[in-house]
Amino acid sequence: MEKVIEVKHLVKSFGNKVALKDVSFDINRGETFGFLGPSGSGKTTTIKILTAQLQQTSGDITIFGEALTKLKDPPYMKRIGILTDNSSLYERLTIYDNLALYCKLYDVDETGIDEVLETVNLLPDKKTVVQKLSKGMKQRVTLARAILHKPDLLFLDEPTSALDPVNTLHIHAGLKKLNQEGTTIFLTTHDMQEAEKICDRVAILDQGEIKLLGTPQNLSRQFSESTITLSLKGNRSIVVNKDAKGAEQIYQFMKNNEVLSIHSDEPSLGDIFVKLTGRALS
């Protein structure tokens, strides 16, 4: 499997404060990789290092098998899309004109603008001047700009943080489609439900360290309880063990037509994070 990103023993310090502590991971081509954690955990610092906006204190990083310095060469810049917290737009231009300008920079045809605007649910607003847009709409414009040239590698820093649930679902669908077309996605988020929906693998980061790394399904199974919860008629519920005795109990309740639903007691990524760190996401 080809590695698009390889990070080995990454450390980043700001004066006496260590923001990242010996962080290591790799990302395969065509993968959607979630970098998860609360505000201040080191997610944005990592993405800024990976996109050559910050210099690491120590550690080795390669993108497409090349050193980070290569990212500043035009052929490599055209292979990458970036959405970060400082992705500025030209306020006095319309949405369409902003994207048309970047079409020239990326050397792509303007015929693709409508497609990306449809992906971010902004096609009806393409003639609107950017300064009149809400924060969430501006965030969707910057996402459209990041995927305009169909990059091989897409960095997304909290892409849906300012969006309502409807537009969030729209963006998720667009990202899945882009991923299916071959784009590798590096996603930072503190939204564990978002990660469960769209990520192939996730790393859970806390206080600058990776606490867990794996698929959402495997992590959930790793921390799952050995119990099953039954919701029964009469507003009752019962917890049974995943063993022969529990199976017999389930059978009897089903035989008596008392079972409304059966739930395997597997934790969400959010539950796992709280269990690991002792604190809730923020």
According to the model, what pLDDT value does residue 86 have? 60
According to the model, what pLDDT value does residue 281 have? 52
Q: Rounded to whole angstroms, how far apart are CA atoms 147 and 115?
A: 10
Q: Note the Cα 278 to chain centre separation in Å.
A: 22
> Other C-beta atoms within 10 Å of 249: how many?
17
Q: Rounded to whole angstroms, how far apart are CA atoms 49 and 61?
A: 9
Percent of the chain with pLDDT over 70: 96
pLDDT at 117 > cutoff 60 = yes
pLDDT at 198 > cutoff 60 = yes
According to the model, what pLDDT value does residue 238 have? 84
Q: Are strands 184-189 and 66-67 parallel, antiparallel or unpaired?
A: unpaired
Confidence label for 268 from pLDDT (cuts 50, 70 and 90): confident
Q: What is the model's pTM?
A: 0.83
Q: Which residues contact 16 (CB under 8 A, 6 or more apart)?
A: none
The dihedrals phi and psi of 19, each to the nearest 5 degrees, come to: -85, -35
Tokens of 248: 């017999």
pLDDT at 276 > cutoff 90 = no
Output the average pLDDT for the chain.
Answer: 89
**Which domains are seen in the chain, by residue range?**
3-220 (3.40.50.300), 225-265 (no CATH)
User: Is the distance from CB of 172 to CB of 197 less than 8 angstroms?
Assistant: yes
According to the model, what pLDDT value does residue 72 have? 79
Tens-place pLDDT, residues 34-55: 999 888 889 989 999 999 889 9
Q: Rounded to whole angstroms, how far apart are CA atoms 266 and 220?
A: 6
User: Is the distance from CB of 49 to CB of 12 less than 8 angstroms?
Assistant: yes
More confident residue, 255 or 277: 255
Q: Note the Cα 201 to chain centre separation in Å.
A: 10
Tokens of 275: 């269990």
According to the model, what pLDDT value does residue 130 have? 95
